[in-house]
Structure 1
């Protein structure tokens, strides 16, 4: 039973996880949180990762009850992601692999999310909705390759939500997307926003520009509340994602859908996906927040 330790640091989370034969033994992480209204810059994020990666590494080993000699291989997120944080984690992983005399494995960030989702949910061959701060794709597996059936043509859905959170000066703790979700639950008025689906692809930049203008105009006039805008944004962008996922499922004949990525933690997105799957006689799979956000990804598909 091989034991693999993995380092993830593609965005504002630094995580170190240990997996043994499909069982997650430990999964500690740290999140770089910026003040409200601000995003996280690559250089600052990399400095955060450097400051705490060794502490997270020690925590992972302690939680798993293992020592370096018990590890069989070292994995790390090779990309995609933010350049400076990725380099930081790659250097640590390579150093650890050399010091411990273990083989080093570079893991594709996107495939890692999918394979961790399949491992934990036991989904067999799902159509995957991969939604995060940096990625928005509908993916399915065919002939030993993951095929992209649809994706964003500009910014990711998570980036759209995060940037709107900055407009409203919403806190980044624990994450702007989570805080938007909580505010959306209190929204009562649906403000009409652009709905941009182009074939199998989606576009969010126009929606973001429009809702920024709406926020300045309608909030000042008292025509809606920040909660209404959060509700409206979620309903619109999630409906777009559900549409292209359903279209991909129809094309592939799939009876399984799997949500991965940080935005997949959103309960409203899960609810809308569940409704779509029930209407199709399909089954929805989703992991919990421990494994949807950017942490360790160390498994691979045969």
Structure 2
């Protein structure tokens, strides 16, 4: 990353194109920062405005019981990215990519092959349209998008996704990590258990775990492992899987019909949910074994796993809040859209006289606008990524990038 003089704050709007592809979700978005005296219908933040012009996403979905491999995920991204970029530009009302000020891409962390496939396209667009590149830390993208959408001011951040579990707070131009997982991430834990019991990966295994957990009627004992502000989840996953070998366990055949897979999702719609809103208001039907004390159902296991995992996350987050004297918490990352996690975190925050800030699937789940937004913030503060340094890395710590505020 090279440094230049910061751009003027109030002279004109700035636009950025963001490309995200660190895992199985390919996202492209266009965002605009409008000066205080400009006209905007977007989100007002500290007398500035942010307009989300487009938010297009396409998800690589595998059959139930299977995870997504890096090579196959990269092939998916290569196959779809031209169409997703074109749709994002069209939806934003732009005539050409030449209208944006910079092109932002996910530098890391993430899966190697998917990251490389998307960064290659970002470099190509940069050369074709003679636009500067800005490499973005995926985790910072989540945080900056969450802060912008919710208006949270200096909260403790719980970042929970398929590959990351961290408790974070800002200090001295860095996002400092106060606690994290010692083994697997919370999203990975939930996804792997979803595969064990045969839950569908459409629209996401974590969401289907959440739905199944609403039917759970028994809280089964599981290991609870917090170590200071860190957590360990592998033992809890193994213990939950062990219940599926119990003689009381009754498997369940799940319906994996969730709408058309592979459609482009724009704005409020999410991949596979064009005719079936992700957040349904109806409670799932109870299974006939739910009230039988001699039976353990998949729903019971989903419920027990969620309650234990989320209780651990609430505990380490509260410990960090007490340590720095904060009353507010911001939940970001794909798992951050889980309503039960938001509810539990909200109870804790309210007892401390504070608030929980969270967003919905449009902004929690990996997307291109979070990369465009974080990249545009860095670009306005004079940061650029030279072409010869526009590499990717699977291990890009949240506390590595320099964070500068331009509002």
User: TM-score if structure 1 supplies the norm length?
Assistant: 0.98
Task: Work out which of the two has the higher radius of gyration on C-alpha atoms and give 1 or 2.
Answer: 2
Alignment partner of 1:78: what SS? Answer: strand
Alignment partner of 2:245: what SS? Answer: helix
Residues 3-12 or 288-297, more deviating: 288-297
Match 1:275 to one of 340, 347, 354: 347
1-structure distance, mates of 2:301, 2:239: 11
2-structure distance, mates of 1:17, 1:37: 31
Deviation at 1:286? 0.6
**1:48-87 alignment to 2 at 5 Å?**
48-66=76-94, 67-87=96-116
Alignment partner of 1:270: what SS? Answer: helix
Alignment partner of 1:4: what SS? Answer: strand
2-structure distance, mates of 1:195, 1:112: 30
CA contact (8 A) 2:250 2:298 kept: no
- Larger RCO: 1 or 2 (CA < 8 Å, sep 6+): 2
* Runs of 4 or more consecutive aligned structure 1 residues displaced over 6 Å after TM superposition: none
Deviation at 1:69? 2.1
Unaligned runs of 5+ in 1: none
Alpha carbon RMSD of aligned pairs, Å?
1.0
Which has a greater percent of helix?
1
**1:193-232 alignment to 2 at 5 Å?**
193-217=222-246, 218-219=248-249, 223-232=295-304
2-structure distance, mates of 1:28, 1:243: 35
**1:157-172 alignment to 2 at 5 Å?**
157-172=186-201
1:18 matched to which residue of 2? 30
Is residue 146 from structure 1 mapped to residue 158 from structure 2 by the alignment?
no
Question: When the two structures are aligned, how many residues end up with a matched partner?
Answer: 302
1:126 matched to which residue of 2? 155
Question: What whole-Å deviation, never above 9, does each CA across 1:240-289 have from its counterpart, x for those lacking one?
Answer: 00000000001111122100000001000000000000000011111111
1-structure distance, mates of 2:189, 2:178: 21
1-structure distance, mates of 2:210, 2:152: 27
2:329 matched to which residue of 1? 257
2-structure distance, mates of 1:267, 1:220: 27
Question: What whole-Å deviation, never above 9, does each CA across 1:4-62 have from its counterpart, x for those lacking one?
Answer: 00000000000001110022110101000000000000000000000000000000011
Is residue 37 from structure 1 mapped to residue 65 from structure 2 by the alignment?
yes
Deviation at 1:77? 0.3
User: TM-score if structure 2 supplies the norm length?
Assistant: 0.73
Unaligned runs of 5+ in 2: 1-12, 34-49, 252-293, 378-403
Is residue 293 from structure 1 mapped to residue 323 from structure 2 by the alignment?
no
2-structure distance, mates of 1:185, 1:34: 24
